[in-house]
């Protein structure tokens, strides 16, 4: 077998055209988001085969991910790229002093995803087909038009554009200081779109338990697909209690930064899990979360990073959802086909994306290690 001969790491700063705000900004806990830090990794073996992966960070953490990736990358040199599980463990031990969650595994994720991309390319298969796809397309919904900084008129305009473009559902941010404002905004969108359009809301962890119960009760008549992160991401018991108390499904998990944290959430009991492959440590760890969710008969709705998650969602037995964000479009030369409410797999091998010239122009640092 060929051995890994070169690893290239790049830090890319993706600017957002408009600063965006969710409930964390309105509560004063975070500032509006103006950019996303993206970590690229390319792994090349002695035979010239290569794989591409990425991770990301919002608001803070990007330089830390890049620095940690540069530190642990030499552990891959000389290794068989097919031994992905063993290499994940090796990378984790290379950075063991910073633990096995959070920034540490988010840096590993870029390498892990690159190794899976290489494996699928070697097999001549899209990643979903290598994993064992259950479908060739996945239901998708748009979030990027529903942030709290946008007035209702803009949200309705963006929602109409998204639905006309073939996207299947719309998600709105909630968590205003006044809950009545949330109810007014969501009611206006539901009335405009009608009952047949899938509609979700996302509080981004900003309610306490009494407020969450009141809001879940108020939203019950609106036929929502789910209510997302009504409580702190680590309040597993609180989310489970809401899942038991209300008919509207409760979704959470995007902020969890390891497979172990997801196992605790699944054990507590929740309706919909929302793992994020770059945040939990890559595809190797995501597959562990996916298996646990399947055993518990839970719905799956991966967070962000659709270029990765469309493949993973396609391999999940129960019909999932994938989140549509167009923010990463400038980074890649290829884009996923969206039609009839669904995101369609391409026939391209691996992840099916290559890095664009624009991404290279936004690159702020590059590091390479060779055998």
For 9-27, how does the pLDDT look when each residue is reduced to its tens digit (9 = 90+)? 999 999 988 887 787 887 8
Question: How is the chain split into domains, by residue range?
Answer: 4-124+356-370, 128-344
HSE, CB side, 13 Å, CA atoms: give it for residue 57. 22
- pLDDT of 1 over the 80 cut: no
Mean pLDDT in residue range 64-69: 96
User: Is 223 among the annotated ligand-binding positions?
Assistant: no
Catalytic residue among 119, 173, 239, 309: 173
173 catalytic residue (yes or no): yes
User: Is 237 among the annotated ligand-binding positions?
Assistant: no
User: Is 307 among the annotated ligand-binding positions?
Assistant: no
User: Is 24 among the annotated ligand-binding positions?
Assistant: yes
For 167-218, how does the pLDDT look when each residue is reduced to its tens digit (9 = 90+)? 999 999 999 888 999 999 999 999 999 999 999 999 999 999 999 999 999 9
Catalytic residue among 303, 309, 311, 324: 303
CATH code, residues 128-344? 3.20.20.120
Phi-psi region of 78 (alpha: psi -120 to 50; beta: other; left: phi over 0): left
For 294-303, how does the pLDDT look when each residue is reduced to its tens digit (9 = 90+)? 999 999 999 9
CATH code, residues 4-124+356-370? 3.30.390.10
User: Is 295 among the annotated ligand-binding positions?
Assistant: no
User: Is 119 among the annotated ligand-binding positions?
Assistant: no
To which residue do tokens 């109810």 refer?
A: 183
The DSSP bridge partners found for residue 35 are 15
Phi, psi of 31, deg, nearest 5: -95, 160
- Give me the pLDDT at residue 148, please: 85
Least confident of 27-36, 80-89, 174-183, 262-271: 27-36
For 330-367, how does the pLDDT look when each residue is reduced to its tens digit (9 = 90+)? 999 999 999 999 999 999 999 999 999 999 999 999 99
């Amino acid at each position: 077998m060929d051995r890994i001969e070169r690893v290239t790491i790049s830090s890319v700063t993706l600017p957002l055209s408009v600063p965006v705000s969710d409930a964390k900004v309105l509560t004063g806990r975070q500032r509006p988001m103006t950019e996303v830090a993206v970590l690229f990794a390319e792994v090349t073996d002695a035979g010239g085969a290569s794989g591409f992966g990425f991770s990301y960070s919002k608001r803070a953490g990007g330089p830390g991910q890049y620095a940690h990736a540069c530190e642990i990358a030499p552990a891959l040199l000389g290794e068989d790229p097919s031994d992905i599980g063993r290499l994940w463990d090796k990378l984790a031990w290379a950075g063991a002093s910073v633990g096995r969650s959070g920034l540490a595994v988010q840096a590993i994720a870029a390498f892990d995803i690159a190794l899976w991309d290489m494996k699928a390319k070697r097999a001549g298969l899209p990643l979903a087909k290598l994993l064992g796809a259950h479908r060739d397309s996945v239901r998708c919904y748009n979030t990027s038009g529903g942030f709290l900084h946008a007035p209702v008129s803009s949200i309705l305009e963006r929602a109409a554009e998204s639905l006309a473009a073939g996207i299947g559902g719309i998600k709105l941010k909630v968590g205003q200081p006044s809950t009545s404002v949330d109810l007014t905004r969501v009611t206006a969108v539901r009335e405009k779109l009608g009952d047949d359009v899938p509609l979700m809301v996302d509080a981004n962890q900003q309610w306490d338990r009494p407020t969450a119960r009141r809001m879940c009760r108020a939203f019950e008549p609106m036929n929502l697909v789910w209510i997302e992160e009504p409580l702190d991401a680590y309040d597993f018991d609180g989310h489970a209690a809401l899942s038991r108390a209300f008919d509207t499904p409760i979704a959470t998990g995007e902020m969890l930064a390891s497979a172990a944290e997801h196992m605790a959430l699944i054990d507590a009991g929740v309706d919909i899990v929302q793992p994020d492959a770059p945040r939990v440590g890559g595809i190797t760890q995501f597959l562990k979360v996916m298996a646990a969710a399947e055993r518990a008969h839970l719905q799956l709705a991966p967070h962000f990073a659709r270029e990765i998650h469309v493949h993973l969602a396609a391999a999940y037995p129960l019909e999932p959802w994938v989140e549509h964000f167009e923010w990463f479009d400038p980074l890649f030369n290829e884009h996923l086909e969206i039609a009839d409410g669904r995101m369609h797999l391409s026939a391209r091998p691996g992840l099916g994306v290559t890095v664009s010239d624009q991404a290279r122009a936004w690159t702020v640092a590059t590091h390479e290690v060779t055998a």
